[in-house]
C-alpha cells in the first residue's frame, strides 16, 4: 500500500492518535555520540572509551577545573537573577572571546572590526554562521576537509548549502595532502566558503605549518574566498596563543573571516554550551551591521545564550588570577595528552616491531587518525572493549597510564593478526 493510502487507512480504522510521522526514515544515529552510548552499555572490565572529544584526566575522570569551580562558588554565594541575556550574549564574555581568539593586542579588535556573539558551544557558532552566510551568499558552496568532522556537512547542509570536500589527508603518509588541497582551493570560484581548522584538526590531528598557512592565505585572498575557521581545541595543540596562529594571520592579512570557537574542551564545560562566533569585517560600520544580522539569526533560532555558562566563562577569563590559573590547567591537559602519545608510541615499538606508529607523536591535539580497518575496529570493540569510531579516529584523552598497556596489547593483537 502506498504511504498515502496507508495513512488514510490508519486514520479511518484506528482509534489512537492520527499517525503523522510514520513515513519518516529512522535516524541512523550519530557516529560519535552513538558509539559513545554503545561504550557505556558494554560490560567489558577493561573497556576504554576513545570515541568522543572529551578530555579525561589520568584517573579517567572529566575534570571540573578549579578555576571554573571558584567562579561557580561565587555565583552561588552571591546569586543574581537569571535574566535573559541579550541576543548577542554577555558583553564581558564577548570581549573575552575576542582576546582569547584574536589576542590581547589585536588590531582588528581595537579598530572595532570584529562582530562577536556568545553561542551555544562551537556547534551553535557554526549553525549561526551558516544561517548568516546563507542570507548573505545563498548560492555559495561550502568546502569541507576530507575527512571531516561529520557534523560539518550536516550543519551546512541543514542550512541549505551544497557541501563539497577538498583533499586534506594523505593515508599513505598519515599526514597532510597539501599539494592536492592547494590545487583544489586554487580552482574554487569567488565567494566559495572554505571551512578550515586552525589547530588540532578533527578528525585527523594533522595541522598545517605556518608556511603552509601563508600559502593558504594567499589563495584565499587571490580567489576572494570566504574562510570559516572552526577552533574547538584551542590550547590542546601547541599552546593557547600558538594554536590561534592561523586566525590571527588571516585577520592581519585583512581577510573577511568567520571564526567559531568553543570553550567546551579548554574549560571542560561541555554541557554548559559555551562558544563564540566572530566575524572579522572590513570596517567598524560593517561589523555593526553584521552584529545586527547575527542577533537576528539568534533570535529566530533560540533567542539568547545561556546565563550560567556565560557567567562561568566570563568569570574565569576576566579575572586576572583565575585566567592565569586556567592557562596552567589547559597546559596540564595538553602536556598529559602529549605524554600519552609518547607512551603509546614507545609501547607499540616494543609490542609491534615494524609497525610505523610515528603518527601518534606527529599528529596534534585530542585526536589521532589511525587508519585502522573496519574489521580491526570491530575486533578491538568485541574482543578488547576498546571503542574507536568507524573512521579510525582515536580520542587520545581516553588513554591514561593505567589503561595504555591494555590499549597497546589490543592494538598489537588486531594489527598483528591482520599481518599474519
Q: Is 149 a catalytic residue?
A: yes
Task: Show the site string, 46-75: x = touches ligand LMR by CB under 6 A, - = not.
Answer: ------xx----------------------
Number of residues that bind ligand LMR (CB under 6 A): 7
Q: Is 230 a catalytic residue?
A: yes
Contact of 267 with 68, CB cutoff 8 Å: yes
| Cα–Cα dist 142/146, whole Å | 13
Least Å distance, CB 53 to ligand LMR, is 3
Closest approach of ligand LMR to the CB of residue 364, in Å: 15
- String marking each residue 226-265 x if it binds ligand LMR according to CB under 6 A: ------x---------------------------------
Binding flag, residue 204, ligand LMR (CB under 6 A): no
Q: How far out from the chain centre does Cα 1 lie?
A: 44
> For residue 49, how many C-alpha atoms fall within 13 Å in the half-sphere facing its CB?
21
Instruction: Please state, in angstroms and rounded to a whole number, the distance separating the CA atoms of residues 230 and 234.
Output: 10
Cβ-based burial of 201 (10 A; exposed 0-12, middle 13-18, buried ≥19): buried
**Residue 144 within binding range of ligand LMR, rule CB under 6 A:** no
**Which of the following is catalytic: 113, 131, 149, 243?**
149
Q: Which of 230, 243, 295, 326 is catalytic?
A: 230
395 bridge partner residues: 367
Which CB, 3 or 271, lies closer to ligand LMR? 271
Helix or strand or coil: residue 358? coil
Nearest to 359, CA basis, from 166, 210, 168, 171: 171
Given the complex with ligand LMR, which of 347 and 363 has the nearer CB atom? 363
Q: Are 186 and 212 a contacting pair, CB within 8 Å? A: no
- Catalytic-residue membership of 5: no
Query: Which member of 202, 266, 268, 391 binds ligand LMR (CB under 6 A)?
Result: 202
DSSP 366-403: TEEE----HHHHHHHHHHH-EE--TT-EEEGGG--TTT
Nearer to ligand LMR, 34 or 175 (CB): 34
> Which contacts of 386-390 are long-range, i.e. CB under 8 A and separated by 24 or more positions?
386/47, 386/48, 386/50, 386/410, 386/411, 387/35, 387/36, 387/38, 387/39, 387/42, 387/47, 387/48, 387/49, 387/50, 387/51, 388/50, 388/51, 389/31, 389/32, 389/35, 389/51, 390/31, 390/35
32 is an interface residue for ligand LMR by CB under 6 A? yes
Q: Which is nearer to ligand LMR, 52 or 259 (CB)?
A: 52
Min dist CB 152 to ligand LMR, Å, is 10
Residue with cell 597497546: 408
Q: And the C-alpha cell for 318?
A: 576576566
User: Considering the complex, what minimum distance in angstroms separates the CB of residue 32 from ligand LMR?
Assistant: 4
- Which of 213, 265, 295, 326 does the annotation list as catalytic? 265
Closer by beta carbon to ligand LMR, 149 or else 407: 149
Q: Shortest gap between Cβ of 218 and ligand LMR (angstroms)?
A: 30
Nearer to ligand LMR, 295 or 393 (CB): 393
Q: Does 149 bind ligand LMR (CB under 6 A)?
A: yes
If DSSP codes are grouped into helix, strand and coil, which group holds residue 260?
strand
Which CB atom, from 128 or from 185, has the smaller least distance to ligand LMR?
A: 128
Distance CA 249, CA 255 (A): 9
Of 52 and 114, the one with the shorter C-beta distance to ligand LMR is 52
Output the nine-digit C-alpha cell for 295. Answer: 542577533
User: Which stretches does DSSP call E strand in 282-369?
Assistant: 367-369
Distance of closest approach, residue 58 Cβ to ligand LMR, in angstroms: 20
- Active site positions, annotated: 149, 230, 265
Residues that bind ligand LMR (CB under 6 A): 32, 52-53, 149, 151, 202, 232
Amino acid at each position: 500500500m502506498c504511504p498515502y493510502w496507508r495513512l488514510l487507512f490508519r486514520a479511518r480504522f484506528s482509534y489512537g492518535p492520527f499517525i503523522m510521522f510514520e513515513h519518516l526514515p529512522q535516524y541512523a544515529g550519530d557516529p560519535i555520540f552513538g558509539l559513545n552510548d554503545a561504550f557505556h552499555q558494554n560490560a567489558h572490565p577493561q573497556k576504554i572509551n576513545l570515541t568522543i572529544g572529551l578530555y579525561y584526566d589520568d584517573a579517567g575522570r572529566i575534570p571540573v577545573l578549579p578555576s571554573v569551580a571558584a567562579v561557580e562558588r561565587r555565583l552561588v554565594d552571591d546569586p543574581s537573577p537569571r535574566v535573559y541575556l541579550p541576543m548577542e550574549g554577555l558583553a564581558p564574555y564577548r570581549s573575552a572571546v575576542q582576546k582569547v581568539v584574536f589576542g590581547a593586542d589585536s588590531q582588528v579588535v581595537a579598530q572595532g572590526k570584529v562582530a562577536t556573539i556568545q553561542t551555544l558551544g562551537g556547534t551553535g557558532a557554526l549553525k549561526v554562521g551558516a544561517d548568516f552566510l546563507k542570507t548573505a551568499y545563498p548560492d555559495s558552496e561550502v568546502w569541507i576537509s576530507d575527512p571531516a568532522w561529520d557534523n560539518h556537512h550536516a550543519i551546512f547542509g541543514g542550512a541549505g548549502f551544497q557541501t563539497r570536500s577538498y583533499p586534506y589527508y594523505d593515508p599513505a603518509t598519515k599526514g597532510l595532502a597539501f599539494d592536492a588541497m592547494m590545487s583544489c582551493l586554487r580552482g574554487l570560484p569567488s565567494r566559495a566558503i572554505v571551512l578550515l581548522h586552525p589547530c588540532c584538526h578533527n578528525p585527523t590531528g594533522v595541522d598545517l605549518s605556518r608556511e603552509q598557512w601563508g600559502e593558504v592565505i594567499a589563495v584565499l585572498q587571490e580567489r576572494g574566498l570566504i574562510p570559516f575557521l572552526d577552533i574547538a581545541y584551542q590550547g590542546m595543540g601547541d599552546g593557547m596563543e600558538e594554536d590561534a596562529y592561523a586566525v590571527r594571520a588571516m585577520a592581519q592579512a585583512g581577510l573577511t573571516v568567520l571564526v567559531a570557537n568553543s570553550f567546551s574542551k579548554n574549560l571542560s564545560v561541555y554541557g554548559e554550551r559555551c562558544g563564540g562566533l566572530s566575524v572579522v569585517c572590513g570596517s567598524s560600520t560593517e561589523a555593526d551591521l553584521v552584529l545586527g544580522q547575527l542577533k537576528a539569526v539568534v533570535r529566530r533560532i533560540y533567542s539568547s545564550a545561556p546565563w550560567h555558562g556565560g557567567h562561568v566563562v566570563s568569570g574565569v577569563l576576566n579575572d586576572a588570577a583565575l585566567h592565569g590559573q586556567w592557562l596552567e590547567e589547559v597546559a596540564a591537559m595538553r602536556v598529559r595528552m602529549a605524554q600519552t602519545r609518547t607512551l603509546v608510541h614507545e609501547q607499540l615499538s616494543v609490542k609491534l616491531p615494524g609497525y610505523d606508529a610515528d603518527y601518534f607523536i606527529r599528529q596534534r591535539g585530542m585526536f589521532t587518525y589511525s587508519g585502522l580497518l573496519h574489521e580491526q575496529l570491530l575486533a578491538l570493540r568485541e574482543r578488547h572493549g576498546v571503542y574507536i569510531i568507524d573512521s579510525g579516529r582515536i580520542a587520545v584523552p581516553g588513554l591514561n597510564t593505567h589503561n595504555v598497556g591494555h590499549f597497546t596489547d589490543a592494538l598489537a593483537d588486531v594489527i598483528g593478526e591482520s599481518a599474519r
